[in-house]
Amino acid sequence: MNIRVIDTTIMLNLLGVPKRCADQTEVLEQFKKALEEKDKLILPIATIIETGNEIAKIQGTKRHEIAQKFAVYLKNTANDNAPWSCESSEIGKKELMYYADHFTEFAIQEVGMGDLSIIMTYEKCKEIPAIGHIEIWSTDKHLSGYHEDAVYKIKRRK
């Protein structure tokens, strides 16, 4: 099983957000391939929030059209009719400690809390048994570098 953690840059390209979809042709081709290969697509809550923020910034009449399209994506996700599933666990002590332990290092590199949250989702997904390949699917270089092959964490019976 291959897993792709969807970054905001991918969602903006899928939605065709003006000035934020320069890689749309390539992203749509990769999306088609991911569906054909039955990759498990994970939509982090940070991606949903950041995408909504970017849609709200659209100037002109496209904002309404794209907001409606995104609303359909969210409804389909909620009803398990989307090609991805939502990672929406609550932030608890473990997650807060992860942010506290890593944020300073990432902030110095100009990586914000949303991206750090996506990285944390990637790290959590690595615990899923029998992963063939896992990656953060992004057009941002600092996130697209997160990928691994053949992560197998199958527990054996004693």
In Å, how far are 38, 73, 98, 147 from 81, measured between CA atoms? 14, 9, 32, 27
Q: Which fold has domain 2-151?
A: Rossmann fold (3.40.50)
Give the DSSP letter of residue 47. Answer: H
Task: Give the angle 135-98-73 at the CA atoms, nearest 5°.
Answer: 50
- What count of other Cβ atoms lies within 10 Å of the Cβ of residue 13? 21
pLDDT digits (tens, 9 = 90+) for 43-75: 999 999 999 999 999 999 999 999 999 999 999
Residue with tokens 């569906």, as numbered in its chain: 35
pLDDT given at position 89: 66
pLDDT digits (tens, 9 = 90+) for 11-30: 999 999 999 999 999 999 99
pLDDT given at position 126: 87
pLDDT above 80: residue 152: no
pLDDT above 90: residue 4: yes
pLDDT given at position 63: 96
pLDDT given at position 112: 94
Q: Report residue 155's pLDDT band, with 50, 70 and 90 as the boundaries.
A: low
Q: Report residue 158's pLDDT band, with 50, 70 and 90 as the boundaries.
A: low
pLDDT given at position 127: 84
CA–CA separation, 147 and 133 (whole Å): 7
Give the DSSP letter of residue 5. Answer: E
pLDDT given at position 92: 83
pLDDT digits (tens, 9 = 90+) for 94-151: 888 999 999 999 999 999 999 999 999 999 888 888 778 999 999 999 999 999 986 6
In Å, how far are 36, 38, 90, 99, 105 from 116, measured between CA atoms? 29, 26, 15, 7, 10
Residue 139 exposed, middle or buried by CB count within 10 Å (0-12, 13-18, 19+) = buried
> What are the structural domain ranges in the chain?
2-151
pLDDT given at position 153: 59
CA–CA separation, 23 and 15 (whole Å): 12
Q: Do residues 3 and 131 lie in contact, with contact meaning Cβ atoms separated by under 8 Å? A: yes
Distance of CA 47 to the CA centre of its chain: 6
